[in-house]
Structure 1
């Protein structure tokens, strides 16, 4: 439990000083024992009161949920997550388990699942590795080592290949500048280097793209992309699509999107998980749970602007039953007043 507390502190430190625009906030009169007793009552006897479970867990922060789980164990000698999983089924069970798992542990488990067995889910690896901050990645690395007794960097190296592997290892090294400082002269220099490494040569010097995209702070990258457009006469995304392919292209584009607008990046991920026939529930749950305390309000705005429909409305049309209720409860409706 001390190790668990340590990497939760690391994860929360990554949020210090940020303007958080999530939909889940700490409860003013939070009482872990009161919530533990209520959850026990919701699971007692015949039938399960899913509405009560959703009402409590969708309105508590990750740290508060952890405190509820600890109090539940103290009061009843039972593991709350195990008890919830025994009472719930399907996507609702998966979403509740995601809510009850500390973010670094959840990301670590997601990365392990993306790499173990036959084949590698590079898209999921990109979503996590290219959007998390240094302290978050450090916390994920610690959780990965504790839960699986494996080294994340070693697994990334063995399960990915080529220049994409080097990009993931660079990000895993946590060497990105995370200040908000913008140096216009440096941006011009970097933009010229990117142009020389791609558009202005036969073939692409991926090492230059890797160095700049993996180490500059996101505000600096936005200025670099602005300068790049003036030099190249096209935006950086167009050049990346022309010069790179496959997972490397997807990784570069994810970093660009994260720098320009993380809210739009995750809005796109959520839309893609629900559009058309079938739903990628694993991705949808991951995106909603992971962003609910960070920037869900900005994501809702980005979603509406780009797709001309509210995120909660889109979820309601795509996800049914108590599972849909939980996701909408986390999103808190299409507007902050819902």
Structure 2
């Protein structure tokens, strides 16, 4: 990207594409056969549901209901044969989490993850950051709409109830879509870079609110100009400066915004590495990223993962299996979504 705001847009490449010669009725019958009787043929479930687009999975769900739906006797007639219910009854553990995640429309899946992050005691701020600070506003609007339909509360009100301070302001700004992704002003960017320097490195203590207000409003083109100007003033990148001045969820939220301006797939590649490194695997994060990005840009994320880590994402997940972290049907489902190409 140049100082005039010209920016090279990367082409999003998914790993899961719509299946050719798609027949939802045939798929519904194959899934039913895989689950009825003693035992379950998990490979059939993987071969079908991990190799169909989300829209095709929704069509399979409808076909399954029409083909196998039976009604209870009595006044309150309800379909008994529901694909998701049958999958839940047959599967378990992380394999179930992958498959059921795939069966939900992506906006509903993300809404469910946000609700899970906020319900009960405590809040999983990492999930809020990953979903709300890394996505374009059109995706966030769909997620917020799904959230309200599913849970009866607005996503914004629940976020406000579970967070506070500058971090809350950052998330609310993401939900309100205050960024203009097409506007950029080199003069204003230079002024704002100076303000950020004066609010952090240039003084004792850090004014986190200044970072939230400037970066929360800056669209991608304008933010990039700010980052360039900041490095001229400080000699450090904006990421280096924030990491030396802040900590905790506000740092993570701002870094997510900055990193996705530079390279969104690289941000998710980093998140996948964090989920897998060290003792134990953060299966929730691993599943969430792969399931929610496989029809958007998981091929781009794979490319960035290999560039950054020096090994393929496929080999990383396989090595998790060798360490006993991912195994069996769960592993095969992840590998099918990641793809070998």
Task: Give the whole-Å Cα distance in 1 for the aligned partners of 2:264 and 2:12.
Answer: 13
Q: Which stretch shows the higher mean deviation, 21-30 or 91-100? A: 21-30
Task: Give the whole-Å Cα distance in 2 for the aligned partners of 1:112 and 1:178.
Answer: 28
Residue 300 of structure 2 corresponds to residue 308 of structure 1? no
TM-score, reference length from structure 2:
0.89
Distance apart, 1:110 and its partner CA: 0.9
Task: Give the whole-Å Cα distance in 2 for the aligned partners of 1:297 and 1:248.
Answer: 29
Residue 161 of structure 2 corresponds to residue 158 of structure 1? yes
Report how many aligned residue pairs link the two structures. 317
* Equivalent position to 1:23, from 10, 15, 35: 15
* Equivalent position to 1:211, from 197, 210, 213: 213
Task: Give the whole-Å Cα distance in 2 for the aligned partners of 1:178 and 1:57.
Answer: 35
Write the deviation string for residues 121-150 of structure 1: whole angstroms up to 9, x where unpaired: 111111111012212111111111111111
What secondary structure does 1:278 align onto? Answer: coil
The answer for the alignment partner of 1:177 in structure 2 is: 180
What secondary structure does 1:175 align onto? Answer: coil
Distance apart, 1:207 and its partner CA: 3.0
Distance apart, 1:18 and its partner CA: 8.0
Task: Give the whole-Å Cα distance in 2 for the aligned partners of 1:249 and 1:46.
Answer: 51
Write the deviation string for residues 103-135 of structure 1: whole angstroms up to 9, x where unpaired: 111111111111111111111111111012212
Q: Which stretch shows the higher mean deviation, 147-156 or 210-219? A: 210-219
Task: Give the whole-Å Cα distance in 2 for the aligned partners of 1:177 and 1:72.
Answer: 43
Residue 46 of structure 2 corresponds to residue 43 of structure 1? no
Is the CA contact 2:133–2:256 (under 8 Å) kept in the aligned structure 1? yes
Distance apart, 1:182 and its partner CA: 4.5
Distance apart, 1:185 and its partner CA: 3.2
Is the CA contact 1:20–1:293 (under 8 Å) kept in the aligned structure 2? no
Unaligned residue ranges in structure 2 (runs of 5+): 1-8, 70-80, 321-325
TM-score, reference length from structure 1:
0.89
* Equivalent position to 1:76, from 68, 71, 75: 68
Task: Give the whole-Å Cα distance in 2 for the aligned partners of 1:299 and 1:241.
Answer: 24
User: What CA RMSD, in Å, does the superposition of the two structures yield over aligned residues?
Assistant: 1.7
Q: Which stretch shows the higher mean deviation, 170-179 or 263-272? A: 170-179
Q: Which is higher, the Rg of structure 1 or of structure 2?
A: 2
Is the CA contact 2:276–2:282 (under 8 Å) kept in the aligned structure 1? yes
Write the deviation string for residues 186-212 of structure 1: whole angstroms up to 9, x where unpaired: 432332222232222333333331122
What secondary structure does 1:46 align onto? Answer: coil
Output aligned runs, 1:219-298, within 5 Å: 219-298=221-300
Unaligned residue ranges in structure 1 (runs of 5+): 1-16
